[in-house]
Amino acid sequence: ERERLERERKEKEQERLELKDQERREDELNELRHLLEENHTAVTTWKTDAVEKAKWERYMHCDGIPDPAVQQDLNTYISLWRDDPEVNITLVLKQCHLTLQLMEELEALLRDVTDPQECYKYQEGLINLQELIHSKHLLTTEEILKMASMNIDTETGNMQTVVKDVNITLCLWANLKKNPRFRDLNFEEAGLGFELPKQLAVSHIAVRLLHTHYDHLSLLARMAHPRMHTPSLRYLSDSALNTANTEIPSMSHIPGLGYYIQCDVFIIIVCISQSAASLQSSRNGAQPAEGRVSQIQTQMEALSGKMPSPTLPDTPKRHECIQVVDLMQYTPLGGVFYCDVFHLPPQAHQVNGWEIRQLLDEGLQVFPYPMEKSNLDDNEALTCPPVGVSVTLPDSVVFLEAPQVARWDAQWRMDSITDLSYEEEEAKISFKMDFFQPFVLMQETYANLPFLSWELRPLDQDAALFTVNGALIDLSITIQGNQCMLQLEQERGLSHLIGKWMSGPILQRAMLNAGINIFVNEYTDKYVITCGKDPLTEHAAYEQMALFASACAFTWSKWNAKCGAEHLVTQACEHHGPVPVPKDSWSLYLLGAQRSQKLEITENSEEFSPDYYPGSEFHSTFIHMLQDNMSTDGIARTRESNYRFVDTVQSLLCATRPLMYS
């Protein structure tokens, strides 16, 4: 009887609290709506003004770099540089640096574009600039190799050189001696090396290892597969791109990049399995300058749909099991490594004080490897051993696990990579490839998810610390106004990132490029175990947490995984100053679409219970629930929060979604 009376008392008390909550529901929702709209309006105005200011500053610059948003200016820049005969590597790399800046601007425009025609225009410009940089690298490589005999290493009798730039590291080796006992070479200052089979050691060849610290190939793959590979993080894009297409258009071929389908907006690579013979026949030599120019023009025609569709290759005799890399599951890190073998250009001869050199029209030519049967001696085995490569991991990235290696063949693939070994202490990876192809080091995109725990606590007015204890590494991000700074216990590298103040979007991209990923998108739940929360309830929680981030601390709760998809559970409390939150200060809160309440249980309770804390009330919003346990000074702090700080905190929470992925 006593239990029945107690149960009836609790039911009546809950009905009273629910009725009280309903009476003030409209006022609380209106107050929250007003705060959110006020901040949103201020942020929108601030961002619009920033864009206009950037446009004006861009217009006022007189640095010779065209505005990438103006297609005529960009086309003029491309034409002038394409026709420039300069092959001095120092001057060419300087021009490449300017072009890379252009590409960064184009990528930024592409992230924010909503008009399909503008999107197509920016993609076209990106690919044309990428191809032009590639052709300039070939021209400078050819020029250096022409002078190989004048720069012979006295110990080996061959030529070897390293050229370093802020964007690339170029390693060249010319086989002048043709010593059959030659096995390998390490470019110590570049952290690159290769191992050649005997067939190549006695051939008139040159080997190029080109490390571009940027990655244009993955960019191409993501543009080609937007539905699969384009992240839609809140930081990176404020609006989704329309990728729908209803019919299959005609097919065009871009030399060196594979077959492409022209869609309304995007380009889609068509994967064609090839027989060994057709694969070998597709490996044509590099063209001379004029040929490469026409190649770029052909590419532009293909993109604009003005080029007739070519005949597709014959049906292959044997289909391969292609291990295509899923660029949502794996992230390329540290740039691209181009591994090439060329016919060594004719060298100059000194005759009676005259320098005699044979001039070839076809330019630098790719040396076919694996070799065709006709190039081998009758008594020589038809098998061509793989090529060995060794790489010291770049200091600019963090590999949380042993790196994976993928090679580029119209897309990233992991087949034909053998004898992979990783020396963690030396940060060195070695492997063998069947072909000379570009390769990249990869890491699982979500290796650091789900989070083990997280915390967001205020440091001062408009300042907070967001700490994430990930699956493999822990990190913290300090937020001050609209600026963020990463803190990470890292023994090597990342000096360009750790301890540097930058905006939220820039920090996020820098962290992704460095292999420190705590960010999610609409595809993450396919690769990471989640709590499966209602996205609208979750988003509303992040909005309100950001509003109160100057005065309240929030942290992970184990009960969040036990309360069901329609509810969220987090620990929260009022907190001031940079000191850690005392353990006994936390309270548990249950958040739902209709109301929020303080829970009776604690983090150390044996089982979950939705019972409310005795003496507490129900509220329609999380912020009003928090205010019941806050001081007057604390509430005043929340009302004085700067809109840029609130937006930065909200963006960070939405980009990481800690209530979903912990």
Q: What tens digit of pLDDT does each residue of 289-333 get?
A: 444 343 333 333 333 333 333 333 343 334 445 678 999 999 999
Length of the chain: 662
How many other C-beta atoms lie within 10 A of the C-beta of residue 242? 14
Instruction: Please report where in the chains the tokens 């051939």 appear, as a residue.
Output: 203
Average the pLDDT over 207-235 and give the result: 73
> Does residue 241 carry a pLDDT above 60?
no
**Highest mean predicted confidence (pLDDT) among 4-18, 147-161, 218-232, 622-636:** 622-636
Contact of 599 with 616, CB cutoff 8 Å: no
With CA atoms as reference, report the closest residue to 480 among 642, 639, 640, 633.
642
Note whether 96 and 136 are within 8 A (CB). Answer: yes
Which of 217, 224, 212 is CA-nearest to residue 163? 212
**E strands within 530-620?**
552-555, 568-574, 587-591, 596-598
pLDDT of residue 377: 54
Give me the helices (H) in 61-88, please. 71-83
pLDDT for 260: 32
Q: pLDDT (tens digit, 9 = 90+) per residue, 195-204?
A: 999 999 999 9
For range 158-167, the mean pLDDT:
96
- Reported as type and span, the H/E element at residue 180 is none
Where do the domains of the chain lie, and which CATH numbers do they carry?
Answer: 151-214+331-349+362-373+384-443 (2.60.220), 453-656 (no CATH)
pTM, two decimal places = 0.82
Per-residue pLDDT averaged across 23-33, rounded? 95
Residue-wise pLDDT tens digits, 415-474: 999 999 999 999 999 999 999 999 999 999 999 999 999 999 999 999 999 999 999 999
The radius of gyration of the chain's CA atoms, rounded to the nearest angstrom, is 30
Separation CA 205–CA 149 (nearest Å) = 13
Q: Residue 631: is its pLDDT beyond 60?
A: yes
In the chain, % of residues over pLDDT 90:
68
Q: Is-contact 384 197, C-beta < 8 A? A: yes
Q: What is the DSSP letter of 595?
A: -
- Residue 352 has what pLDDT? 75
Element (H, E) at 639: helix 632-639
Neighbours of 41 (CB within 10 A): 11
> CA triplet 194, 199, 200: central angle to 5 degrees?
40
Q: Tell me the pLDDT tens digit for each residue of 68-104.
A: 888 999 999 999 999 999 999 999 999 999 999 999 9
- Asked if 502 and 513 count as a contact pair (C-beta separation under 8 A), the reply is no
User: DSSP assignment, residue 473?
Assistant: -
Q: Which residue has 């470019």 as its token pair? A: 187
Tens digit of pLDDT for each residue in 468-527?
Answer: 999 999 999 999 999 999 999 865 778 889 999 999 999 999 999 999 999 999 999 999
